[in-house]
Amino acid sequence: MKVLIVGGGGREHAIAWKCSRSPKVDKLFAAPGNAGIAEVAECVDISVMDAEKLVAFAKKEAIDLAIIGPDDPLVAGVADCFIENGIRTFGPEKKAAIIEGSKAFSKELMKKYKIPSAASETFSDPESALKYLETANMPIVLKADGLALGKGVLICNTLEEAKSGVKTLMLDRQFGKAGDTIVIEEFLTGREVSVLCFCDGKTIKPMTSAQDHKRAKDGDQGLNTGGMGTFSPSPFYTKEIDDYCKKHIYQPTIDAMHAEGRDFKGILFCGLMLTEDGPKVLEYNARFGDPEAQVVIPRMKNDMIDVMEACIDGRLEEIDLAFEENAAVCVVLVSYEKGFVIHGLENFRDKDGYYVFHAGTKKTEQGVVTNGGRVLGVTAKGADLFEARANAYKATEWINFDNKYLRHDIGKAIDEQ
């Protein structure tokens, strides 16, 4: 079969790598792809948001399956365009992707269906938001309603910070329209865990757990990023917690979306906080996490195509999801400038259990160069999390480019278990 992956980040490289290992796949395309994806797929220069060109390409190449990776095209309804043109598509339709596209929608859904989450209020008027803050407990969390590249969440420790945050989001419009409406939410404490789930509209099957590191600097300092590294599984996500989440969070969410006429087919990402009062939902996403995908997908035993097709056909209950009894750690390498030549990528060839997933890379006459932001996700497996972390950091030394930056404490939480 011919498969088209829409996207060009580390998440899509992990998806492409996994799909390339399926005996069902004869030809793999990626739009737009990146220098790493180009090793396993033919990259085509089409924007993830250009639904018309994407569909035209899919028709021309007789694509059997389209897989949409990023949040923006899902929320914009690109999946709908593929489906309307008779192309089998993995990824939720626009009416279901709203669960990520609107924080206000997802908070109201959780309230209505009594899914455990932080107490919150939603505001579209800055003055009302500021007035509410006068009576709120600090610290508090401000969230832009719409998509903001994973950066539209402000944790405010004082009333002054919170008021400044409202100004940043709603008046200065730092994230554009995403901040026209905001959610003001109770600050939760505990361990943060990510659980990605396959869904077919009625059945939901969680994958192995992962834990992300959002902050830019060591010690969870600095600004929020798209993710600086992750590990899987989380030692804090026990079987008891998994059982609770299946009963009170995962299945109720899919049932709630069905009841709202928004059947969810694709990946539901549940960002959880393990509080003293039990697990609570921090946020939903409508796609694989990045960089969570880079540690979860390499540990997955199933053929990715089999699972995705089962989700599309509504027969996910037939699939027995299985993951390796090991661990994986991903450390993200960052460049704040473009055009630096990357050295050492060849060191990962034919090394079992070591992976380098490209995100911000570009192929040039000089070789593969940095293309800004998160450049590479260096992932390694190990018998346990300690070995996986040691292997991942060892592997980061195989890669070099000017002004390479990384966090040195990914997975430090496992020392405290």
Q: How confident is the model at residue 223 (pLDDT cuts 50, 70, 90)?
A: confident
Q: What is the mean pLDDT of the chain?
A: 96
DSSP H or E stretch at residue 57: helix 51-60
pLDDT at 152: 85
Cis peptide before 298 (omega within 30 of 0): no
Per-residue model confidence as pLDDT tens digits over 366-407 = 999 999 899 999 999 999 999 999 999 999 999 999 999 999
**What radius of gyration do the chain's Cα atoms show?**
21
% residues pLDDT > 70 (the chain): 99
Nearest-angstrom CA–CA distance, 207 and 221: 29
Per-residue model confidence as pLDDT tens digits over 258-310 = 999 999 999 999 999 999 999 999 999 999 999 999 999 999 999 999 999 99
Nearest-angstrom CA–CA distance, 276 and 256: 25
Across 5-31, b (16+ Cβ under 10 Å) vs e yields bbbbbbbbbbbbbbbeebeebeebbbb
Q: Is the dihedral of CA 177, 179, 182, 186 positive or negative?
A: positive
Nearest-angstrom CA–CA distance, 237 and 274: 8
Asked if 356 and 376 touch (Cβ cutoff 8 Å), the reply is yes
Tell me which residue has tokens 């206000």. Answer: 104
Per-residue model confidence as pLDDT tens digits over 6-49 = 999 999 999 999 999 999 999 999 999 999 999 999 999 999 99
- Residues near 408 by beta carbon (within 8 Å), at least 6 away in sequence: 218, 393
pLDDT at 413: 77
pLDDT at 150: 66
Domains and CATH numbers, the chain: 2-94 (3.40.50.20), 119-186 (3.30.1490.20), 191-318 (3.30.470.20), 327-416 (3.90.600.10)
Per-residue model confidence as pLDDT tens digits over 332-341 = 999 989 999 9
pTM of the predicted protein model: 0.95
44 exposure class (CB count in 10 Å sphere: 0-12, 13-18, 19+): middle
Per-residue model confidence as pLDDT tens digits over 40-59 = 999 999 999 999 999 999 99
> What is the 3-state composition of the chain as percent helix, strand, coil, each rounded to the nearest 5?
35, 30, 35
Q: Is the dihedral of CA 325, 242, 15, 306 positive or negative?
A: positive
pLDDT at 216: 92
